[in-house]
């Protein structure tokens, strides 16, 4: 188990609000709202990411469409029942609104957790190596978030041989990706998946205490054992 679950999951986002805040749910009398934020990539494209934020934070700032949101928080998951089936939903849960610091990477995430499904290694038609993995990240009150991740190249080859239960830490960015889903009636709809695109990854000895921000200051030339 990680000794400090608040340090296992850290996100920083800076982007433009592209949807009105819509009420989502209430916990102990505190309302939470959902909205979407457009976060630019270096390539010139952008990710449209779901964000969950407390009404208490909304009161203190302008989050209308077109406003800039700069926030720190966590990437969280929850299950939603749709058409009798449970679907894994993902959102950036905002813990704090921060100053718009243009010097920071506008989309960064640090995770420490456990592989909870066998990684799936594959290659694209252009021979790019990819491994899909699902990482369980401990949260307070004996909860866990289940975060889909994609590793590339050397990292993809490395994680394909890791077993379920392996403890890892990783850094990267949260990305949105559209795909076509074919339904039982033959119709096709466009869906959006959210996942972490991994830039650095390392295995971690069980019992080690993680300080992700310091331990990720390592060379990206190869995966490491910490």
Model pTM score: 0.87
**60 and 115, same domain (yes or no):** no
User: How many domains are there within the chain?
Assistant: 2
> How many CA atoms, within 13 angstroms, populate the side-chain half-sphere of residue 89?
14
Q: Does residue 196 form part of some domain?
A: yes
- DSSP classification of residue 34: E
**114 and 100, same domain (yes or no):** no
**199 and 99, same domain (yes or no):** no
**89 and 188, same domain (yes or no):** no
List phi, psi (to 5°) of 7.
-95, -5
Q: Which residues pair with 69 in a beta bridge?
A: 15
Distances (CA, A) of 47 to 3, 38, 122, 154, 176: 32, 6, 24, 24, 5
- Give the Cα separation of 171 and 211 in Å (integer): 12
Which CATH number is 198's domain given?
Answer: 2.40.50.140
Its domain, for residue 54, covers 5-104
Residue ending a domain, choose from 54, 87, 104: 104
**119 and 97, same domain (yes or no):** no
Residue ending a domain, choose from 83, 104, 125: 104
What are the pLDDT tens digits along the chain (226 aa)? 444 567 899 999 999 999 999 999 999 999 999 999 999 998 889 999 999 999 999 988 889 999 999 999 999 999 877 777 788 899 999 999 998 878 889 999 999 999 999 999 999 998 999 999 999 999 988 899 999 999 999 999 999 999 999 999 999 999 999 888 887 787 888 889 999 999 999 998 876 665 556 555 534 344 444 4
């Amino acid at each position: 188990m990680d000794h400090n679950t608040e340090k296992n999951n850290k996100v920083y986002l800076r982007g433009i609000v592209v949807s009105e805040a819509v009420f989502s749910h209430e916990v102990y009398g505190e309302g939470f709202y959902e909205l979407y934020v457009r976060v630019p990539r270096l390539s010139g494209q952008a990710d449209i990411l779901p964000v969950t934020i407390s009404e208490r934070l909304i009161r203190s700032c302008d989050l209308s469409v077109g406003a800039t949101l700069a926030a720190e928080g966590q990437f969280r998951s929850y299950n939603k029942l749709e058409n009798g089936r449970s679907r894994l939903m993902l959102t950036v849960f905002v813990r704090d609104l921060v100053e718009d610091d243009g010097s920071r990477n506008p989309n960064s995430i640090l995770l420490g957790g456990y592989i909870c499904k066998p990684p799936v290694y594959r290659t694209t038609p252009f021979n790019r190596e990819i491994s899909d993995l699902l990482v369980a990240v401990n949260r307070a009150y004996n909860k866990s978030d289940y975060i889909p991740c994609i590793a590339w190249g050397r990292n993809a080859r490395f994680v394909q041989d890791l077993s379920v239960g392996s403890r890892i830490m990783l850094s990267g960015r949260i990305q949105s990706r559209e795909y076509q889903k074919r339904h039982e009636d033959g119709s096709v709809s466009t869906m959006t998946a959210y996942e972490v695109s991994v830039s650095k990854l390392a295995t971690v000895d069980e019992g080690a205490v993680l300080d992700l921000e310091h331990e990720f200051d390592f060379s990206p030339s190869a995966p490491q054992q910490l």
